[in-house]
Amino acid sequence: MATSCADRATGPASKVTPATPSPSVLPEAPLEGVAVQSEPWTLDAAAGQVLSTTNYRIYTTSSKEFLIDHLPAFVEGAAAHYRAALGPLPEPRSTMEIYLLDTRPQWERMTERFMGEQAATYLRIQKGGYSVEGRAILYDIGRRDTFTITAHEGWHVYTQRTFRHSLPVWLEEGVATYMEGFRWDPGKAALPTFLPWANFERYDQLRWGVRAGKLMSLQDLTRSTPQELIAKDANAALFYYAQVWALVHFLNEGEGGSHREGLRQLVADAAGGKLIARIRRDAGDRAASMYSYRRGGVDLLKIYTGRTAAELQPAYAAFMDQIVKTGTRNDIWQGKSPIREAAATPTAPAAPATP
């Protein structure tokens, strides 16, 4: 899985043709209490189906049994994780949508229909997906990676449908990568256990970046967007995602967890529509207006941690060095924190949701 994008741009409606609904509860899928209804759906000439759960409508042309059987419970479990991993967050305000196409050509056609003139930027994504207007547009990239990208883009869909104010891009993407980590429950193979540290792709990319000296400063990181980086160099975007993954872990666990409450308050303020007022109070009307317009122009780290990006840089760099030091990969495999000072207070994974 390579890059993924999340934006709120609008695009022309997709030319998809739903067949006459004929809902039926799937009979033998291992869903552990997650009720699912299935109805026919077509994309051009490709036959598919819509899988409906409590919080989602999943439009898919895939015929792979593992995906069809496990995706409904996976996305409901992910939704529960989104709402608990970084403090209590609200239920989605409307049904969330996921388009999971069987092939990249189908995904490209859907992208052209949804994104119109902006499609060229998204088509540069080499392997992954994106979300827009509360729906994720994905395609099958292999068993593990398809679930991982679904968890990532699912966070974007959740915030697009639920949050009253947008998070800054670096945090929106950072939390999305934080939500990617999971392992299948060894006792109940149909169910995922979400573990934010269990993310080899971000870990390995970060380790490479640290050792090769390819990482951005915290100031540059919080001023960049993945769309800008994808347009220039897909590898730069991969380092970006690895760094924002590490940044959310740093804010959650670094320096003895001293920034944890600030992180949670920032996320909660965006969800509840209080972020702009906080910026206005602490940084003035101009900063609030600038943030409302382009999700930037203000150092939210200063507002919510009491230290600027430049002031946090040494501690953040030391945290990344500690994450990737020799011997930590086994922790990542187990989904455990490699930061020993945080081991006593790990973030507990949320249980999968039930209707």
Query: How confident is the model over 41-90, as pLDDT tens digits?
Result: 999 888 999 999 999 999 999 999 999 999 999 999 999 999 999 999 99
pLDDT grade, residue 152 (50/70/90)?
very high
Nearest-angstrom CA–CA distance, 345 and 84: 15
Average pLDDT over residues 100-115: 94
Using the predicted structure, report yes or no on whether residue 94 has a pLDDT greater than 50: yes
Q: What is the pTM of this model?
A: 0.86
In a domain, 129, yes or no: yes
- E-strand spans in the chain? 4-6, 17-18, 24-25, 37-43, 46-52, 56-60, 96-101, 129-132, 135-139, 182-184, 192-194
**Number of folded domains that form the chain:** 2
Using the predicted structure, report yes or no on whether residue 127 has a pLDDT greater than 90: no
Residue whose pair of structure tokens reads 């989904």 in the numeric block:
335
pLDDT tens, residue by residue, 232-290:
776 788 899 999 999 999 999 999 999 999 999 999 999 999 999 999 999 999 999 99
In a domain, 301, yes or no: yes
In a domain, 351, yes or no: no
Shared domain check, 184 and 275: yes
Q: Which two tokens stand for residue 76?
A: 């409901």
Percent of the chain whose pLDDT exceeds 70: 85
By mean pLDDT, which of 81-95, 113-127, 171-185, 300-314 is the weakest? Answer: 113-127
The CATH number of whichever domain residue 65 belongs to comes to: 3.40.30
Shared domain check, 286 and 267: yes
Residue 150 domain boundaries: 1-162
Using the predicted structure, report yes or no on whether residue 162 has a pLDDT greater than 90: yes
In a domain, 290, yes or no: yes
Shared domain check, 96 and 32: yes
Nearest to 352 by CA among 155, 197, 185, 150: 185
| Eight-state DSSP code of residue 327 | T
In a domain, 354, yes or no: no
- CA angle, 351 as apex, 273 and 149 as ends, to 5°? 70
